[in-house]
Amino acid sequence: MEHTNKENLLSKDSLPSQQDQPLTEIADIDADAPSRLWTKEFLILTACNLLVFLNLHMILSSLPLYMREHYNAGDFYVSLCTSLMALAAIVSRLFSARALELGKRNVILFGGLLIALLGTIGYYFSATIILLLVMRVIFGFGFGMYSTTFPTMVSDIIPRKRMGEGMGYFGLSTTISMSMGPLIGMSIEKQYGFTPLIIIGSIFILILFPLAYSLVKGQDKKIAEQKIIADQRKLAAQAKAASEGIVVETIDTPSLPAKASKFEKKLLLPSLLNFLMSLTYGGLVSFIALFGKEAHLANPGYFFLFNALAVIAVRPFSGKIYDSKGPKALIIPGAVLLIAGLLLLSFAHSTLGLFGSAICYGLGWGALQPTMQTWMIQVVNPHQRGMANGMFLNSLDMGVALGAMILGAIAGITSYTSMYRFSALFIVLYILVGIVYMIKAKGTPAQTQHSIHIKIK
């Protein structure tokens, strides 16, 4: 959907006091905008996002053992397989976000799906580890394109006052996929081999084509309808003001700028926090199976199952807390839970210890990940949401990529147990950055948004 950036330019001295209320109604012309969250479009977009990340994490978590057994690959190549895909996604988002800002949504969405499909099928034909890495780059390039588009589309249909709650539920699909995907992928590979994973991953992408087409068609129709409604409201506002002897000028920010806007510096802080948090996940998704062998754990993939259950449990509450109190209320508690989860995992030598660590980590991740994404969406103008979602996903993928490489190197020198203890230091740094932010943000007044610009002549 298309929205405009809004700011009320009225001053109390501009009008007699008896006319303040009518102009408030004029300015807030979208006050009666629908607040329903669980629409058909929201549900379809959430399902699309679930398939997107299930495909990613089912294969990503299974590749380390497959590479070790099929190519006799060491830790360096295992981490490189994760990192190259993430870096390719990051590069593709650099232009995807700008293309979305300029209204090239369909090209980015369907082009990305096609490229990712080719990369996924290409795994089957990769006879050498070099070819496999090439397919990872191709897949990552396509993934970076369409994974930016779906969150941008959903942020456009969520009611503004329920953005934290809405993005929380939408982000639940991402986190469940990140948690359940590895468990499903490792189980399928163990029972049937890697080829069925390629087939299932390809089917997921094929399903996305008709779902995405239905969304694009429906959103284009609603955009046209909303433009007509917005024009009617604008004319009604002008007529009402004119009837009261007030001359007004309405000024709309263009929904599709002629050129992409400059980078928004307000995205840097939440991007940094998301990056630090994602460094730890890179160590989990890349090495949890190998850690299980080292710690003699029968089913290390169950970490992701209980992680997902914890995420589901915390997500309804964290979104509402964000909407009422903002990100400051979630940063420290969520980070403490992440540290507890990593430390418990490093000491886990039984299934019970694995479950406890997974629950702690899941509660922290489930509270913080949608917080970072919603925060980034809300600090930019509506037409910059592609940029915000691109930055969120880039910081996530960069964290996973560098986390896999850094923590893999540490594991090679020490052990996977020591690696997870070291990774907790990233979250300590997260807390320190968060404290600095809260100190600086203390007492800063919240910004209020309205519907149109009104100047009194």
Complete DSSP assignment for 406-432 = HHHHHHHHS-HHHHHHHHHHHHHHHHH
Say which residue the tokens 């995205």 belong to. Answer: 267
pTM assigned to the model: 0.68
Q: Does residue 2 form part of some domain? A: no
Number of separate domains in the chain: 2
| Measured distance CA(277)–CA(366) in Å, rounded | 12
Residue 22 CB contacts under 8 Å (≥ 6 apart), including other chains: 240, 241, 244
Cβ-contact 320, 419 below 8 angstroms: no
* Same structural domain, 40 and 127: yes
* Same structural domain, 182 and 269: no
Cβ-contact 180, 304 below 8 angstroms: yes
Q: Which of 205, 240, 275 is the last residue of a domain?
A: 240
Q: Which of 240, 255, 275 is the last residue of a domain?
A: 240
**Residue 203's domain is classified under what CATH number?**
1.20.1250.20
- Give the domain extent around 367: 263-442
| Per-residue confidence in pLDDT tens, the chain, 457 aa | 444 444 443 333 333 333 333 333 333 434 444 577 888 888 999 999 999 989 988 888 788 778 888 888 777 787 788 778 888 988 898 888 778 777 788 889 999 999 999 999 999 998 888 899 999 999 999 998 988 888 888 888 888 778 878 887 887 888 778 778 877 888 888 889 889 999 999 999 999 999 989 888 766 666 655 566 666 677 777 777 667 666 555 545 445 454 555 667 888 899 999 999 999 988 887 788 788 888 888 778 788 888 888 988 888 788 788 888 888 889 999 999 999 999 999 998 888 889 999 999 999 998 898 888 888 888 888 778 778 888 888 898 888 888 888 998 898 898 888 999 999 999 999 999 989 888 877 755 444 444 333 333 3
